[in-house]
Amino acid sequence: MENLIHLALVWSGVFLAGFLAGKTKLTPVLYFLAIGCLMVNMGLLPEETTPFIEGFSEIGIILIMFALGFEENASNFLDSIKRSWGIAFFGAVAPFAIAYSLASYFWQDTNIALLCGLTMTATAVSLTMVSLKGENLHTTKAATGIMTSAVLDDIASLALVAILVPIATGSEALSVLSIEIIVGKTVAFFAIVTVLGMWLFPHDLTHSWFGKIPLLGRYGIKDLMSFSRGEHATLAILLLAVLVGIVSHKFGFHPAVGAYMAGLIMKEEYFHFNSLEENQYAANKRIVDNVAFSWIGPVFLWYWAPS
């Protein structure tokens, strides 16, 4: 019952944050943080999250990232990589160098300094993107650049953790093999996402070499979403987001990265399976946005963003 009380308080706070944001023309995220801090200091919410809320919040960040990818265009994302690699590089190197230098100055311990530097390399992009969405700026080139840089930073952070943690803990020396494993995992994950985009999603593979393989050329994601006249389309795309998130986690990335990539390779044309009914893409987008930014996603922002 205690978990349900906490959840009810969070959802009540979401209502209040939305009301205050509308009155002041500020992003709701500011009020999520402010109201959350007040509730914790007043003893209404616990300082440490419960397993129930923690699991709920994990689903929240997966849904947020999937919703953001769902609105983005894959070609824009790929084009942004060419422009954003420098942002991602300096966005990871500068915080690492500053944290390493300060920790080394105060503690004179290289291993501690390495670990402090690593903690500053990961990009916490969820707050930024939700704030941009609140201002309807989440589909701009700047927002795409932020998200692209975040994905590249996540890859770089994974490599740095694999390389530097064993050195800092003294368990082993720098190994070329460990670097090759990280590179291999990264390539394999994005190869899987590419195959999904080329085979599972497109419905017409007549002119593709995939289409020559039995059954592969006849069925795609549109068949899954049009099952039972599209009644389970939302379930299908959310299941896909979770599954790709699981694959992402297996390769060392956060599940939210996989969810974002799953949303990224979705296209509006995949929802054109029943012209006589309401726009399925708009209907499913509305549901996903509502779930991600209204009643599950805010739980993640409420409990994890301050940390």
Please state, in angstroms and rounded to a whole number, the distance separating the CA atoms of residues 275 and 226: 12
Which one-letter amino acid corresponds to residue 174?
L
The residue to which tokens 């390493």 are assigned: 100
CB 253, CB 154: distance < 8 Å: yes
Domains and CATH numbers, the chain: 49-304 (1.20.1530.20)
Q: What is the pLDDT of residue 200?
A: 60
Q: What is the pLDDT of residue 305?
A: 46
Tens of pLDDT along 244-297? 999 988 887 778 888 888 888 887 777 776 654 557 788 888 888 888 888 888
Tens of pLDDT along 24-42? 888 787 888 788 888 888 8
Q: What is the pLDDT of residue 74?
A: 67
CB 9, CB 44: distance < 8 Å: yes
Q: Is 188 a residue whose pLDDT tops 60?
A: yes
